[in-house]
């Protein structure tokens, strides 16, 4: 057929009549009309994408001869040779394919991203190769400032999510460090929330401290850290004492016991002061049971009757001051 068009008079006439006609080119392939197919070029760009993120893969198709764009052409995208899908070029010659990496099939790192045009009756095929970089998902920890008092169990919740889409991250381990000391770890649930139940003891005095919570990351998610303020408050204390009885000149034993309010734990190594009728009569240090005693000699001139006993704990860097003036009395006979 080509020989007929090229060598016969009738063929030459038909070529002269049909070649300039764009509509004829749809019915008579370039090769049939004696023309060579036009060379094309595809251009793409490198892409960086995280798990959970969607990026548009783009490729632009042009004719090499005049750099004009080619619309309505089918472009096939592949990743490491595996098909991702196809897209059709628009009026600017651009084909766009949305893509989100699947963590089970595409690993973190660099991959070969190819866009291919298979050619058609008028144009030759072309391919563009670029790099698609898959990254771990950025993550975010969310919680608020918190605090508590000695003897309390304080719940420390925190929520771990993927930054790009807010997806809660389940079954991830987070670690807690208070004032530079590790205090525990917890695992996130289906809502992305981990909660550490922390019992506050006298490891640090009252004050404000940094609470640092860390997720170390894994194969698909990046590490992240959040720092909030943890406030340790001075804790309330209470005192007990007991009634004692004696005569002027007798030596009696005054007893005081100090404990903290939240969990009633007795406090060792605290100074308790004793007063009789508002006057200081001595002090002593509590033992492991939070108890101290003071030997007191009843003055010879003290009148018989009931006298007020007061025990006082002045407080310290951990605990608030407390006073007891109604649990016990001194009965002088």
- Point out the least confidently predicted range of 15-24, 131-140, 194-203: 15-24
Q: What is the mean pLDDT of residues 276-305?
A: 97
When the pLDDT of each residue in the chain is averaged and rounded to a whole number, the result is 92
Q: What is the mean pLDDT of residues 251-272?
A: 98
Non-local CB neighbours of 126 within 8 Å, separated by 6+ positions = 39, 40, 41, 42, 61, 116, 117, 119
Which option is the CATH number for 34-135: 2.60.40.10, 3.40.1350.10, 3.20.20.140, 3.30.70.260? 2.60.40.10
CA–CA dist 45, 43 (Å, integer) = 7
Residue 21 has pLDDT above 50, yes or no: no
Element (H, E) at 249: none
CA–CA dist 298, 63 (Å, integer) = 114
pLDDT at 22: 41
pLDDT at 84: 98
Pairing status of strand 207-215 against strand 193-199: unpaired
Please state the φ and ψ torsions of residue 18, each to the nearest 5 degrees. -100, -30
Identify the bridge partners of residue 310 per DSSP, sorted by sequence position: 275
* Strands of the sheet with 94-99, listed across from one edge: 40-44, 55-63, 94-99
pLDDT at 326: 86
Residue 10 has pLDDT above 90, yes or no: no
Whether the Cβ atoms of residue 117 and residue 74 lie closer than 8 Å to each other: yes
237-332: in CATH 2.60.40.10 = yes
CA–CA dist 68, 54 (Å, integer) = 30
Pairing status of strand 139-142 against strand 126-135: unpaired
Non-local CB neighbours of 198 within 8 Å, separated by 6+ positions = 153, 154, 155, 156, 176, 178, 183, 184
Q: What is the mean pLDDT of residues 261-284?
A: 97
The DSSP output letter for 65 is T
pLDDT at 34: 55
Question: Residue 77 burial by CB count (10 A; 0-12/13-18/19+): exposed, middle or buried?
Answer: buried
pLDDT at 35: 65
Residue 287 has pLDDT above 90, yes or no: yes
Residue given tokens 């640090």 in the structure block: 204
Q: What is the mean pLDDT of residues 143-152?
A: 97
Closest by Cα among 230, 191, 193, 198 to 212: 230
Closest by Cα among 294, 282, 290 to 258: 290
Query: Span 139-233: which CATH code?
Result: 2.60.40.10
Question: Residue 251 burial by CB count (10 A; 0-12/13-18/19+): exposed, middle or buried?
Answer: exposed
Instruction: Using a pLDDT cut of 70, give the percent of the chain over it.
Output: 89
Closest by Cα among 156, 180, 179, 160 to 169: 160
**Where does CATH 2.60.40.10 sit in the chain?**
34-135, 139-233, 237-332
pLDDT tens track for 159-216: 999 999 999 999 999 999 999 999 999 999 999 999 999 999 999 999 999 999 999 9
Whether the Cβ atoms of residue 195 and residue 234 lie closer than 8 Å to each other: no
Q: Who wins on pLDDT, 11 or 228?
A: 228
pTM (2 decimals)?
Answer: 0.81
Residue 5 has pLDDT above 70, yes or no: no
Q: What confidence category does residue 132 fall into, taking pLDDT thresholds of 50, 70 and 90?
A: very high
Question: Is residue 17 helix, strand or coil?
Answer: helix
pLDDT tens track for 32-74: 545 689 999 999 999 999 999 999 999 999 999 999 999 999 9
């Amino acid at each position: 057929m080509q020989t007929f068009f090229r060598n016969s008079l009738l063929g030459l006439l038909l070529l002269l009549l049909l070649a300039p006609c764009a509509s004829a080119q749809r019915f008579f392939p370039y090769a049939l009309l004696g023309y060579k197919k036009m060379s094309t070029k595809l251009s793409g760009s490198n892409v960086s994408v995280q798990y959970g993120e969607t990026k548009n893969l783009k490729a632009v198709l042009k004719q090499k001869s005049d750099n004009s764009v080619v619309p309505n052409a089918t472009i096939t995208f592949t990743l490491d040779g595996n098909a991702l899908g196809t897209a059709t070029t628009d009026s600017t010659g651009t084909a766009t394919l949305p893509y989100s990496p699947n963590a089970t099939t595409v690993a973190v790192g660099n991959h070969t991203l190819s866009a291919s045009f298979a050619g058609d009756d008028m144009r030759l095929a072309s391919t563009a190769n670029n790099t698609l970089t898959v990254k771990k998902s950025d993550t975010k920890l969310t919680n608020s400032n918190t605090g508590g008092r000695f003897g309390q169990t304080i719940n420390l919740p925190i929520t771990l999510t993927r930054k790009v889409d807010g997806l809660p991250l389940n079954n991830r381990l987070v670690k807690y460090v208070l004032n530079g000391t590790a205090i525990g770890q917890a695992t996130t649930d289906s809502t992305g929330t981990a909660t550490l139940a922390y019992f506050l003891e006298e490891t640090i005095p009252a004050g404000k401290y940094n609470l640092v919570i860390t997720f170390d990351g894994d194969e698909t998610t990046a590490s992240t850290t959040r720092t909030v303020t943890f406030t340790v408050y001075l804790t309330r204390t209470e005192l007990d004492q007991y009634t004692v009885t004696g005569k002027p000149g007798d030596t009696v034993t005054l007893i005081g016991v100090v404990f903290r309010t939240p969990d009633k734990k007795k406090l060792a190594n605290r100074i308790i002061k004793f007063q009789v009728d508002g006057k200081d009569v001595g002090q002593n240090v509590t033992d492991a049971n939070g108890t101290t005693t003071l030997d007191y000699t009843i003055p010879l001139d003290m009148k018989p009757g009931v006298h007020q006993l007061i025990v006082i704990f002045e407080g310290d860097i951990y605990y608030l001051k407390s006073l007891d003036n109604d649990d016990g009395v001194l009965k002088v006979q």
